[in-house]
Amino acid sequence: MNLKTGYWKNKGVFEYWAKEENFKAFKITKDKKLEWGEDIDMDPDAFYLKLVGKSFEEQQLTIVLQK
């Protein structure tokens, strides 16, 4: 899957990440989130759902139906 971020360019956190040194200054938390300081984090599941345009409930239903 290719991620196109043009929509978010220079908006919100992406403005902060425009500086390479800011983007590289992340850590992975114990619950597997990417985190930049105390104010910025990215939950991979929430990010995925935003990308595919699904709610948490829709994704759970998809998982249940696949079983």
Q: Comparing 5 with 25, which gets the higher pLDDT? A: 25
**What are the tens digits of pLDDT across the range 26-59?**
999 888 888 998 888 877 888 788 888 888 888 8
Q: Which domain holds residue 62?
A: 6-66
Joined together, the tokens standing for residue 32 give 């597997």
pLDDT band at 5 (very low <50, low <70, confident <90, very high): low
- Return the bridge partners of 35, or none: 27, 41
Position 1 in a domain: no
Distances (CA, A) of 46 to 19, 27, 53, 60: 24, 18, 10, 13
The total number of structural domains that make up the chain: 1
Task: Tell me: pLDDT of 4 over 70.
Answer: no
Residue 1 pLDDT: 55
